[in-house]
Amino acid sequence: MAITDKQKKLLVLVADGEFHSGEELAEALGLSRSAIWKQLSGLAELGLHYTGVSGRGYRLERRLELLNHAKISAALNDFSRASHVLFEIHDQLDSTNSYLVQKSLHGAASGSACFAEHQTAGKGRRGRDWVSPFGGNIYLSILWRFPHNGLGEIAGLSLAIGVAVIRALKHLQIPDIGLKWPNDVCYQGKKLGGILIEVSGEAAGPCAAVIGVGLNVFLSGSEAEKINQPWTDLSKILGQRKISRNTLAACLLNELIPVLIDFEQSGIKTYLEEWRQYDVLKGNAARLFVGNQVIDGIVQGIDDNGLLLLEHLGGRIQSYASGEVSFNNAAV
């Protein structure tokens, strides 16, 4: 369901999580009180549930911090500002990656970025849906063009992006975050976020990548029922300590932009040792799914090209460029 202009205006008014009378809301929006009730019911269909109390009015079940261009811009560091990063904020997209893939076909500049409050068809790995409730998480994509690099030369980009995401979370003093090859962000064995990179171009160059980053900030129990693997979000990790979505959005841009600029010149080698510090798979018995193949072994980290090293029965170690890994009997 698409959010309407009237619903967005109503949402801005009630986002503070406080009670607002039907009369107050009706006057502010130029609607009848019955129309306000209908608009609130429409918000509930987006997962934005509300409470109505006679004599007090309506309020959202939880306070909502909407993404704000001015607040994100104010939190960008000098490097990001000097890089002239251009970002958009959308109320709703099918997916931020799909949006930028289309823009890239029409000449969008390298460094173009977009956030969405809600995705109707968020993308996970291997064609899975990414659960994308309105205003709860971070959905970010960046288009980056590599004019002098071919598709083979940007292999390992997802590992470098993982390092950038870890740096952003550490900057916000979020502890115990790890990385699961090739593109998951984890906390204590549970998935906190993911990275999805879609590439196009020539083997010898030039090429382009659309880099999608999704991070769970708040997921309700009803939304989480759609997830078929152990998961967590920042609200669970931080407890009473709150984190601003706008600050988090800016921190991600502050870390992603310099990594992308550097990766264009140096590739994955700069980030290998840092990535290895956060490797949650190394030393674990694991199962690797490659197409229709299922391969069991012990993960021995990554090689200098960012490929997964899996030790088979008998001690033979083989590297893999792609696949999905599960371990500890959980697909995390």
Mean pLDDT of the chain: 90
Statement: residue 331 has pLDDT above 50: no
What pLDDT shows up at residue 247? 97
* Helices H / strands E in the chain, number of each: 11, 14
What 8-state DSSP symbol labels residue 232? -
Going along the chain from its start, the domains and CATH numbers come out as: 5-60 (1.10.10.10), 69-277 (3.30.930.10), 285-327 (2.30.30.100)
Distance CA 282, CA 193 (A): 19
Residues 88-117, mean pLDDT to the nearest whole number: 95
What pLDDT shows up at residue 224? 61
Known binding-site residue numbers for biotin: 95-97, 119, 191
Statement: residue 118 has pLDDT above 80: yes
Residues 180-192, mean pLDDT to the nearest whole number: 94
Statement: residue 330 has pLDDT above 50: no
What pLDDT shows up at residue 291? 84
What pLDDT shows up at residue 222? 62
Distance CA 63, CA 218 (A): 11
Beta-bridge mates of residue 308: 302, 320
Measuring CA to CA, how many Å separate 23 from each of 28, 36, 51, 57?
9, 9, 16, 8
* 332 pLDDT tier (thresholds 50, 70, 90): very low
pLDDT (tens digit per residue) in 201-251: 998 889 999 999 999 999 876 666 667 678 999 999 999 898 999 999 999
Assign 3-state DSSP to the chain and report helix, strand, coil percentages, each to 5.
Answer: 35, 30, 35
More confident of the two residues 254 and 219? 254
Known binding-site residue numbers: 95-97, 119, 191
What pLDDT shows up at residue 130? 54
